[in-house]
Structure 1
Amino acid sequence: MDARHLLTSVFTVLSAPPGEILAPLSRMLADVVPHRALAMLTGDCARHPMRTHGQAALTERITSTELARLGSRVDVGVPWFGTAPLAGEPRQALAIAATPPDTSGALLVIVTADALPPSEAARELARRWWDLVSLQVAERAANQTPSAFASNRFVASERTRAIAELTEAHSATLTSILGALRSPGLDDATARTTATGLAVAALIDLRAATDLDRSLTEESAGAAFDRLADKLLPLTRYSEVSLELAGPRERERAVPADVANAARAVVRSAVLTMLDQGGIGRIRAGWEAADSELRISVRDDGPGTLAADTFVLHRLAELVDALGGELTIDAVPQWGTTVTATLPLTPLEGPRPGPLDTLNPRELEVLQQLALGRRNRQIAEHLHISEHTVKFHVANILEKLEVGSRTEAAAVAHTMGLAPVA
């Protein structure tokens, strides 16, 4: 691979959307480590901690529990090659763990195309590439839009709830099975031993899945604040501004990963904005984890002229609001500025359904035609359905949207941004 092609490939991988980063990485690795599938597990993305790419027969069956178990055998910076359970069967794989500064770490598993071990040069090249990719994944997770923070938080909390419920249900079932199989009234000792071993293994897997999900979607308040400190201290190392950092007293308190990311973004942006004012001698930033919220405070001793409508502070207010929190700016001339924020630690409620969310796909198509002003006959011809069926759909649409006429339904479609299809 010549230098120009290599740089182009690296740029393509690093500029790919978060959900599509494995596809260009697979193309870049193809000649270095021939493979059938790639899988990644990261602690810096709460919404999608595991992603896969490659042959569907593998990617659809690889589990996060398998990756986590393999990851426990891999040392950071030392690529591992061997046989590991993946997609339900022992497979040859190259595993690479990376923990760039201020990240939770990421694991790349390459299911190789043959049993021949990759050369040392190939392993080292793959390791360096993965270091770059994992750093990019972490940076994007820490600098998401407000809507992405809110979406990730909701999805992560729902996934945790679902896994917990499934774990409890399966645990109860398997515990009952174990009780029956251990009964002295059963004579087939071999069957009991085999079934007991399988049931215990299933329980362990389920509990491991819950523990894994918690580790990927939460971090301790102390560790989260330490990651922030590592980012902030270099900002004032060579200036006359004194930076005081007050970490949370309850360092072991669990904080959702996306709340921690948002909190770091709030403090980092507030400190940078304060430094831009000039005339600053001291900045104090602190966190405190209460029962249901994370409280953030950043205070300076500057001119006290920062306004809440400053672009950066306005964007921070949007980010905090997206997570169900609140941000306030208290600027007192000659006394300094205090930026405070509260972020809820409890799971967010799901987004409320909009008027169009109650309609099925066919009803949406009919509504799009109504928005064009078409009559039933025209709609029937366009959608290749009977006029009677159109009438049925129109009646359902009016009832679901709680409107009294086709014109009102069309107005709802326009208001909600449903683009008419000619």
Structure 2
Amino acid sequence: MVDPVPLAEPATRALVVQHARLVAERADQHALTLESLLAVLRSTRVDDRAARVEAAEIASAALVDLRTSNDEERNALVEPVSRAFLRLRNDLRPLVRFGAIDIQFVEPPATGRALPGEVAHAARAIVRTAVLAHVDRGTAERVRVQWDCDGRNLLVEIRDDGDGSLDVHDDTVRPIAERVSALDGDFRVQSTDGWGSTISIVMPLDPPALGDRIEDAEALTPRERDVLRLVVAGAPNADVAAQLGITVNTAKYHVANLLRKYGARSRAELSALAR
């Protein structure tokens, strides 16, 4: 086994993290585009011709976004909370119009504090992930998305009317939990059997700086080294647990510790840094 070695230069670490994040965000956007196309093509609200026109518009918009997106926009220092929320609504517009889930939006205060770029991007990605997870689960008919600011934190609430089986250990919300943990935020899930679930997130508007939190390889425990080796190899938590003879929750605990030590916001970033 080759032990992970921390990257020597902060600038190099920043480039690796940035690349991994952009790849992850692009994958997230592509998943949303494909889900939107499927929603239009499966919809009974429009005829075949209208569905083709709408699908073409969605694909064209996605191509324009892909060709015109740039690092300057993605890494903007700050973004007004109202504009960040509007971009989220635009992302989810096709699913709102044609999807099987009714998505309701509660606008944040227009006077709320501007969001750091990292927080704005993470918040949009979190909501997109949650909505797509509900689409995949197929147990909810309505999802309510609400943002608010208390001056120091962005408050995100995602409520559904599903079967109430969601919990913090569910693999469908694992990417959300990892993003929130890496930003030193708070993530909670409250469910009532048969009455739905509520995901509550508190994200600090002044997250810790990237690149300054990577520990020396010697700071990893032997178990963390084993977990990291499997994560880098692409193993999900269930496979990590099976190969190491530990529970899935223990595997998730070790992954969360590794994300915190490496200052990574996702498994993709963690793998990129460890390599």
Q: State the TM-score, normalizing by the size of structure 2.
A: 0.51
Query: Between Structure 1 and Structure 2, how many residues are aligned?
Result: 164
Counterparts of residues 340-351 of structure 1 (less than 5 Å): 340-348=200-208, 351=212
Q: Is the 8 A contact 1:324 1:348 kept in 2?
A: yes
Structure 1 position 311 matched with structure 2 position 245? no
Q: Tell me the equivalent position of 1:226.
A: 86
Counterparts of residues 169-318 of structure 1 (less than 5 Å): 216-318=76-178
Q: Tell me the equivalent position of 1:338.
A: 198
Q: Is the 8 A contact 1:242 1:281 kept in 2?
A: yes
Q: What value does the CA root-mean-square deviation take over the aligned residues?
A: 3.6
Q: Tell me the equivalent position of 1:322.
A: 182
Q: Is the 8 A contact 1:303 1:335 kept in 2?
A: yes
Q: Is the 8 A contact 1:250 1:289 kept in 2?
A: no
Compute the displacement of 1:224 (Å). 0.2
Compute the displacement of 1:250 (Å). 3.6
CA distance in 1, matches of 2:127, 2:108: 14
Compute the displacement of 1:233 (Å). 2.5
What does the per-residue CA deviation read over 1:184-205, in whole Å, with 9 as the maximum and x for residues that have no partner? xxxxxxxxxxxxxxxxxxxxxx
CA distance in 2, matches of 1:132, 1:327: 31
Compute the displacement of 1:248 (Å). 0.7
More strand by share: 1
Q: Is the 8 A contact 1:297 1:341 kept in 2?
A: yes
| Amino-acid identity (%) | 33
Counterparts of residues 383-402 of structure 1 (less than 5 Å): none
Compute the displacement of 1:229 (Å). 0.5
What does the per-residue CA deviation read over 1:271-312, in whole Å, with 9 as the maximum and x for residues that have no partner? 111222224221100100111100000001111112322323
Q: Is the 8 A contact 2:108 2:146 kept in 1?
A: yes
What does the per-residue CA deviation read over 1:241-267, in whole Å, with 9 as the maximum and x for residues that have no partner? 321101111445211011000000111
Local SS of the residue matching 2:162: coil
Local SS of the residue matching 1:237: helix
Amino acid paired to 1:134: T
Q: Is the 8 A contact 2:112 2:149 kept in 1?
A: no
Compute the displacement of 1:238 (Å). 1.9
Local SS of the residue matching 1:297: strand
CA distance in 2, matches of 1:346, 1:232: 27
Amino acid paired to 2:91: K
C-alpha distance 341-132 of structure 1, shift in aligned 2 (>3 A): closer
CA distance in 2, matches of 1:338, 1:297: 7
- In our comparison, the structure showing a higher alpha carbon Rg is 1
CA distance in 1, matches of 2:182, 2:17: 20
C-alpha distance 19-265 of structure 1, shift in aligned 2 (>3 A): closer
C-alpha distance 132-318 of structure 1, shift in aligned 2 (>3 A): closer
CA distance in 2, matches of 1:227, 1:313: 22
Which piece of structure 1 moves more, 216-225 or 344-353?
344-353
- 4+ residue stretches of structure 1 with deviation over 6 A? 17-20
Gaps of 5+ in 2: 1-15, 20-24, 26-59, 219-275
CA distance in 1, matches of 2:161, 2:217: 51
Local SS of the residue matching 2:154: strand
Compute the displacement of 1:270 (Å). 0.8
C-alpha distance 327-131 of structure 1, shift in aligned 2 (>3 A): closer
Compute the displacement of 1:334 (Å). 0.4
Q: Is the 8 A contact 1:18 1:137 kept in 2?
A: no
Q: Is the 8 A contact 2:95 2:101 kept in 1?
A: no
Structure 1 position 134 matched with structure 2 position 68? yes
Local SS of the residue matching 2:90: helix
What does the per-residue CA deviation read over 1:350-388, in whole Å, with 9 as the maximum and x for residues that have no partner? 73574689xxxxxxxxxxxxxxxxxxxxxxxxxxxxxxx
C-alpha distance 138-341 of structure 1, shift in aligned 2 (>3 A): farther
CA distance in 2, matches of 1:279, 1:290: 32
Compute the displacement of 1:132 (Å). 4.7
